[in-house]
Amino acid sequence: MTYRSRIAGVSFFLVTALPLHAQRPLVDSLQELLQAQAQPDTLRIKRLQALAIALTATDLPQAQALTEQALTRSRHAHYAPGEARALLWLSTLSRRQAKYELARRYAQQAQQLFARLSQRQGQAESYLQLMLAELIQGNFAAALVAAQQGLPLAEQARDQQTKRRLQATLGSIYLNLEDYVAALPTLQAALTNGEQAGDHQVVMSMLNALGTVYTKQKNWPAALRYYSRAQQLATEQHDQVNSTINEINVADVYRLQGNYALAKGHGLHAQARALATQDTYSLPFAELLLAQVYQATGQPDSAIRLAHHSLQLGQQTRSKENMRDASEVLAQAYAARRAFAPAYHYQQVARAYTDTLAGEQTQRQTSALRYGYELDKKQAQIALLTKTRQLQAQQSARQHQQLIGLLVGLGGVGLLAGLLWRNVGLKQRANRRLNEKNQQIAEQRDALDYALLTLQATQGQLIQREKMASLGELTAGIAHEIQNPLNFVNNFSDVSAELVEELQQGRLAPVHEPELEADLLNDLHSNLHKIRAHGQRAATIVQGMLEHSRPSTGKRLPTDPNALCEEYLRLAYHGLRAKDSTVVVTLLTDYDAQSGLVEMEPQGIGRVLLNLLTNAFYAVRQRQQLATSTYIPTVRLSTRRLAQALEIKVYDNGTGMREEIRQKVFHPFFTTKPAGEGTGLGLSLSYDIVTQGHNGTLSVQSEVDYYTEFTLQLPLELSARPAALHR
């Protein structure tokens, strides 16, 4: 992978400040406002941040100082939004200065602070900065994770700009993985979306990335066409940094075609731009390209000078690819000058960086495969490890041959030069084979990624369907249960209205009766208390329904298991009656009075009870439809406090289960109900809630046409004392 692919797809996101022609008036205006007296802290912080953004493209040190000042003031003023914004911009500035670890840390701190503030847009922007920092360093698996976390937040916040940039960078990841079949349509779609939205940053990035794809495919006219469009847009936006990168890309296309005169002209122009704008990111790439041109045109002295400087800059920015390519130029240039000692040294340095990058490439491929389809993951990992060992063995053998050849070649100057050229040819052929194998691995990874995304989407839909089915059962019971308190509220309201009317008539009567008036007021007062009590009961029922419908918090609370069982037994039965009023079931309860309060997550255990009771009522209803008139549908619910656990049993005398069904009853998506009546997730989710969420057990015993009994046990390690001790 050349340095061009490291630039492709991310460079245009490095500058998000205003165009240069629009910055000076804004800078002057902000500086005048900051000199004003008696400014509130929050207003001054906002102006400091705005000035820092405006100065980023022209005065990076000043922008850094202003942003750090805004961060300090925000923390002193306890102004969390200002602190988060300052951290986010410090991440951008650190990335611009190739301080990637610092950029990652600032982005993570900003994301955590935005999360505490419940600001989804800020979280999405933080994940974008984190993704760019990882992508520039070649950590593509980590960049994919950041993109997957940021995209839902951007959609929820309706932040279309951040969403477009996250999606566009996904196309750049395909490009950097050299999967051009997947990269081309993804980048074209992102380009169209950016043009429709007028997002110049996305448009410039996608034009640059598409030019890189066509350069890799040696489609020179298409590559120059896209680079020219990107350069024109950068010029219109007065974007010096992106103009420099485009100059490097165009120069490299001409170099690859052998047109060294045009390559040199564009390369010198790019070098001048980078020096004028203090662009430390682009300068080593521009000087490396010029060194390659000088080496190709027989000017080894100039090639050595520029390659040395590019290597030093690459070491500062930790760009292994730049250091590898610069070392290769130095090795070839010194060999051309017949200085074989330094040529051999830099050849060894280049080989070391090549080995490191090869290892990083293999590690990157392996990391990406972790996101593959779970059922094929082991086989894919075994195949990848086998191929990796084969590649390493081939590479080790090749290095051994090269080392032997170099040692033998030290005996003669001419023989050493010949061996060096021979080794270059062997390396090129080996790299081609390595690239072919890497492409095969990338194709396998992408197929697994697609399968995993499809599976996750399907599972999410099925889980939501099961939750809605459970909510429907609960709603039917609540509708019946809430009718009683509402009837009481309506009746007592009518009676209270009549009492008020009598009270008014008594006051207008010729003879005032204080005793009658006191009785009426007492009755009215009693009615209002009853209205309030039944209204609170209705509100409690509605609150319970809302708690069931919202996601579980996972927080354990001291809970009375008897009251919880009684509530969900009543709701499940009313749900059954709402579906079929002809079904009458005998309800038996056996609650342990010494059960006490038990530490549990009441929403989760409530869902478990609702699933078990709903299945029990379904079973007795099915058997009643087929049984004789002597059959009496019965459901029994019991609790019992054991030495180490609380035991809850749900028994029914319904249809029962065969042994082969009983063994699979807790498997995900397994159901015996007709299509449309069950998802096969109810008992699976219940099993996970009990076993994983509470470290308990859930088991079942059954006989066909006789009974079914589910036994739930919750450990008492975290349980509270008996209820009487808490009153």
CATH number at residue 703: 3.30.565.10
Which region among 130-144, 321-335, 362-376 has the lowest average model confidence (pLDDT)? 362-376
Query: What average pLDDT does the segment 256-266 reach?
Result: 91
- At residue 392, the pLDDT reads 67
Three-state SS annotation for 96-129: HCCCHHHHHHHHHHHHHHHHHCCCHHHHHHHHHH
When the pLDDT of each residue in the chain is averaged and rounded to a whole number, the result is 79
- At residue 375, the pLDDT reads 31
- At residue 361, the pLDDT reads 58
Q: By percentage, how much of the chain surpasses pLDDT 70?
A: 78
Q: Same domain, yes or no, for 520 and 582?
A: no
Strand order in the sheet with 707-715: 586-590, 634-641, 645-652, 707-715, 697-703
- At residue 508, the pLDDT reads 74
Q: Same domain, yes or no, for 489 and 570?
A: no
pLDDT tens per residue across span 304-316: 898 888 888 877 7
Query: Is the confidence at residue 429, as pLDDT, over 90?
Result: no
Instruction: Say if 223 falls within a structural domain.
Output: no
Instruction: Say if 287 falls within a structural domain.
Output: no
- At residue 37, the pLDDT reads 46
With contact defined as beta carbons under 8 Å apart, do 681 and 610 qualify?
A: no
Range of the domain at 22: 1-199
Instruction: Say if 662 falls within a structural domain.
Output: yes
Instruction: Say if 508 falls within a structural domain.
Output: yes
pLDDT tens per residue across span 183-226: 888 888 888 888 888 888 888 888 988 999 999 888 999 999 99
The structural domain count of the chain equals: 3
Please, what sign has the CA dihedral across residues 655, 658, 663, 669? negative
Please, what sign has the CA dihedral across residues 22, 24, 27, 28? negative
Q: Same domain, yes or no, for 535 and 572?
A: no
Q: Same domain, yes or no, for 539 and 570?
A: no
- At residue 422, the pLDDT reads 77
The domain boundary, picked from 490, 525, 549, lies at 549
Instruction: Say if 63 falls within a structural domain.
Output: yes
Instruction: In whole angstroms, give the CA distance from residue 188 to residue 677.
Output: 44
Confidence band of 590 (pLDDT split at 50, 70, 90): very high
Element (H, E) at 307: helix 300-317
Instruction: In whole angstroms, give the CA distance from residue 633 to residue 653.
Output: 7
- At residue 559, the pLDDT reads 93
Q: Same domain, yes or no, for 46 and 171?
A: yes
- At residue 262, the pLDDT reads 92
Computed on alpha carbons and rounded to an integer, the radius of gyration of the chain in Å comes to: 36
pLDDT tens per residue across span 62-98: 888 888 988 998 899 899 999 999 999 999 998 888 8
Instruction: Say if 277 falls within a structural domain.
Output: no
The domain boundary, picked from 168, 199, 230, lies at 199
* Whole-prediction pTM: 0.42
Confidence band of 386 (pLDDT split at 50, 70, 90): low
Q: Same domain, yes or no, for 1 and 144?
A: yes
The domain boundary, picked from 549, 576, 602, lies at 549
pLDDT tens per residue across span 100-128: 899 999 999 999 999 999 999 999 999 99
- At residue 507, the pLDDT reads 74
pLDDT tens per residue across span 608-619: 999 999 999 999
Q: Same domain, yes or no, for 113 and 158?
A: yes
Q: Same domain, yes or no, for 505 and 643?
A: no
The single-letter DSSP state of residue 673 is S
pLDDT tens per residue across span 1-54: 344 444 444 444 444 433 444 455 656 666 666 666 445 678 888 888 888 888
- At residue 270, the pLDDT reads 87
Instruction: Say if 512 falls within a structural domain.
Output: yes
Q: By percentage, how much of the chain surpasses pLDDT 90?
A: 23
- Single-letter amino acid code for the residue at 392: Q
Cα 353 → chain centroid:
32
Q: Same domain, yes or no, for 466 and 591?
A: no
Query: Is the confidence at residue 477, as pLDDT, over 90?
Result: no
- At residue 105, the pLDDT reads 93
Instruction: Say if 236 falls within a structural domain.
Output: no
